[in-house]
Structure 1
């Protein structure tokens, strides 16, 4: 009898072991590891992906986001657009499966079926209409309104078809619809709790918003009910780590996996590491020294021109940026449609700078303030500018602020000079010209120069409605030349985008707009 019980016990334990193995391996003989599961085919899924970044987001509502670091948290992750860019910047279907231009003022879109927002609300024509109605409603107060202000009406044909009607032709329409500004929001949130979208985004994307601990971390979880191919990781944590050295150490140790803010001084260390890799690609962004043209002494064009002549831009590219990126000649990247190499920046000429300052009545010197965010390279650039301008009698006081405070300051016109950058989310020159230089974009939308020139406004508006590409390019060239003559800014650098990632990470890339592409990322 005892022997029979012992045999029963052995059999029970054997079955239990098999059951436990079945639970751990799943139906496809997956093997557990610390960060996820490995299938029989070798694909790795699951685990937590940690992205470390210098600063926190400033907000998560696409209708109010005006900076790429904030958009990077939600664009393509929580929120989706009607169409998207592929790696070659071609348009591909997303929430819309097809689209066609009926005439200069009419676009028809066929919508994807079976898609739901994270709150269970169905995605349909009414959701598209609710999104753009909110964006365009003056009562919303969106700084993004003018980017799609030519939309006169969104007509819901049925659940899967909408027509977008324009008041005027708009050449870059599709590029804007594919960008963060074209994100489709939950109509339930828009109707019931629109203010909560700033801190609790609800979209249709492959990741669902989980939490935001201000100044610390934002967490997104895998959308298990996603309509398309599901994300490979279980969660993404955007962790705020202000110190450059700490972020890099976290990548090297495996505590974190990705950082898209890489000190140029650390490139050699990363490339020589057997634990980290460097992603590099030409970007659509530009970096510049800008003037608030409405405050003294920069309301005087001769002062702005003097500063422009006194900046040795090549020294900044080599000394500060270690030749990462290229010397800019205008506030538009060579990768962007509408760029012109024929518009020339001011050459380095100290004598001309002194002469202009004297003509402006500042021959006895001048004191100014230069505002920058707390990114290391920007601080270094500010110090170089400070040194260079000292040579013409300009005493520069550097103001360094955390990114959120920096954005607030420039959006409130509380600066004299600034070191800034402008990312382009569309690849079209309108995104640079309208946002940086049109008088309607003064303040939060992007015109932190507070520059207003009716001639430039008219040219930018002409380019928006012109459908012939070569004519648009000529219009942009004319506008950029006037902006250069008015010395609104000093172009410094065309971005080369950098990201460091752990060798335990696969399928990661940055697009040309500097968006982190995370849906297909796996962690070993």
Structure 2
């Protein structure tokens, strides 16, 4: 690895997106932190597992940060930065990498967090029988080995510019090998990592309680505990915050954000966006397998009216899978705009009745959104049946392609690759839309083959153009991960992925 160099990867975060944040990191750190207390955070649904192998949603990833932390992290400007791995070096051709771990880090069960543990974790993720949803991120790895007690060397099969950013996400959440051996298939109910907190209690459907990890590698957290509470109903979440029964509402409803801004009672944390809300289409399903039907669905969507009705106009209309914090944002030519006459003509040309089954999260706001879509499509002559599912069921249906059309979102990753490769490559492990296009495969592989941002921008613009042509997604709005926060909560820093880093958070009692 003598030719390797420090890897610097930056997501260009728009200044305006950072400027939206009403929560100033500088102001939050001004007071002296106080020790103790419990922090209560709402989730949109219960967790399916505490094992990163099964993480798929925004909620899962938040729990993962609490329990495991990550090898690398993202800073407020979108840079991938050191974390438990104090350094990552890349060869000029991004065909090999070297991780250097911090000395003295342990998992909460006392197991050493060393190179051997990291190698075992990668092997576990990459084992096909474990079916990790993040395995697509690591599909280019050829060989991984411990080349020193705290040094991990990785050789790639193909160039992998995306790789460092994956280590700031689920693939960088390393589990205790001792705990995996101890619990086996039941590890998902225990979840032992090296994060700032460790599992105390999990009452399914009610709450997950985490205690401070006294051996956390930075220094023990200020808080005594963190409680995650699944609350599918948005009104209940905001009411609980106002009543003092919650400290943080993540992914707050637009009406609640606007109310909080007006009342100035709560802190509004808006770190910007890495991705989108969209309608995803199973291209192998009846009717929607025909491009004319997908085009009709797209042209009949008045997304400006939709955004006003569902989001009070708060969010930005999306035309790409890349949020405001990613450099290919809005780099697209010819995404379909609202044209009802054209939609009706496409339906007429198709020549058969079109009946859509739209799967959604059972939450009230999703029902309203689905009804808005239903009404718009009906104007074009398309009938829609709304199928509400609990969040865990929805994610499962998406993963197994057991749907026709689905209202969905993706919170995004720190590299553009995270928003497209795993979803649209023919071999992508979460290719939920049955997308199989050799031109797309070639583009996505090319995006991983260079670190030159100008070249990558050209590539991802072509990706955007192909998505606009084939329409596996109907983009709605960019996904802003806005949290509403009790003013007593201090020490939060806005990070573009919207996830909360709680190691430095404290409460002013």
TM-score by length of 2: 0.89
Q: Which blocks of at least 5 consecutive residues in structure 2 are unaligned?
A: 1-30
Of 155, 158, 167 in structure 1, the residue corresponding to residue 157 of structure 2 is 167
- Cα distance change on mapping 1:242 and 1:142 into 2, 3 Å: closer
Q: Hey, what does 1:461 align to over in structure 2?
A: 445
Work out the CA distance in 1 between the residues paired with 2:448 and 2:251.
33
Of 341, 347, 364 in structure 2, the residue corresponding to residue 357 of structure 1 is 347
Quick check: 1:246 aligned with 2:219? no
Q: Hey, what does 1:22 align to over in structure 2?
A: none
Quick check: 1:405 aligned with 2:389? no
SS in 1 for 2:40: strand
Quick check: 1:208 aligned with 2:198? yes
Which aligned pairs between 1:278-357 and structure 2 lie closer than 5 A? 278-357=268-347
When structure 1 is superposed on structure 2, of 391-400 and 56-65 the one drifting more is 56-65
Which aligned pairs between 1:68-107 and structure 2 lie closer than 5 A? 68-75=58-65, 77-104=66-93, 105-107=95-97
- Cα distance change on mapping 1:233 and 1:133 into 2, 3 Å: same
What number of residue pairs does the alignment pair up?
477
- Structure 1 stretches of at least 4 aligned residues deviating more than 4 Å after TM superposition: none
Work out the CA distance in 1 between the residues paired with 2:432 and 2:320.
16
Work out the CA distance in 2 between the residues paired with 1:113 and 1:147.
26
Shift of 1:297: 0.8
Of 379, 383, 407 in structure 1, the residue corresponding to residue 367 of structure 2 is 379
Contact persistence 1:320–1:381 (CA under 8 A): yes
SS in 2 for 1:88: coil
- Cα distance change on mapping 1:334 and 1:88 into 2, 3 Å: closer
- Cα distance change on mapping 1:461 and 1:194 into 2, 3 Å: farther
Contact persistence 1:263–1:376 (CA under 8 A): no
Q: Hey, what does 1:388 align to over in structure 2?
A: 376
Of 412, 426, 432 in structure 1, the residue corresponding to residue 419 of structure 2 is 432
Work out the CA distance in 1 between the residues paired with 2:206 and 2:224.
20
SS in 1 for 2:454: helix
Which aligned pairs between 1:222-241 and structure 2 lie closer than 5 A? 222-241=212-231
Work out the CA distance in 2 between the residues paired with 1:54 and 1:496.
15
- Cα distance change on mapping 1:256 and 1:406 into 2, 3 Å: same
RMSD: 1.8
Q: Hey, what does 2:37 align to over in structure 1?
A: 47
Q: Hey, what does 1:267 align to over in structure 2?
A: 257
Of 442, 455, 462 in structure 2, the residue corresponding to residue 471 of structure 1 is 455
Of 128, 146, 163 in structure 1, the residue corresponding to residue 136 of structure 2 is 146
Of 480, 484, 487 in structure 2, the residue corresponding to residue 500 of structure 1 is 484
Of 447, 455, 462 in structure 1, the residue corresponding to residue 431 of structure 2 is 447
Contact persistence 1:424–1:513 (CA under 8 A): yes
SS in 2 for 1:294: coil
SS in 1 for 2:448: helix
Deviations 1:351-372 (A, max 9, x none): 111111121122xx42221111
Q: Hey, what does 1:519 align to over in structure 2?
A: 503
Work out the CA distance in 2 between the residues paired with 1:100 and 1:453.
33
Work out the CA distance in 1 between the residues paired with 2:281 and 2:106.
46
Contact persistence 2:417–2:444 (CA under 8 A): yes
Work out the CA distance in 2 between the residues paired with 1:359 and 1:271.
48
Shift of 1:497: 2.4
Which has the bigger relative contact order, CA under 8 A and spacing at least 6? 2
Deviations 1:98-145 (A, max 9, x none): 232245322222221111111111111101110111111223222221
Q: Hey, what does 2:19 align to over in structure 1?
A: none
Work out the CA distance in 2 between the residues paired with 1:301 and 1:148.
32
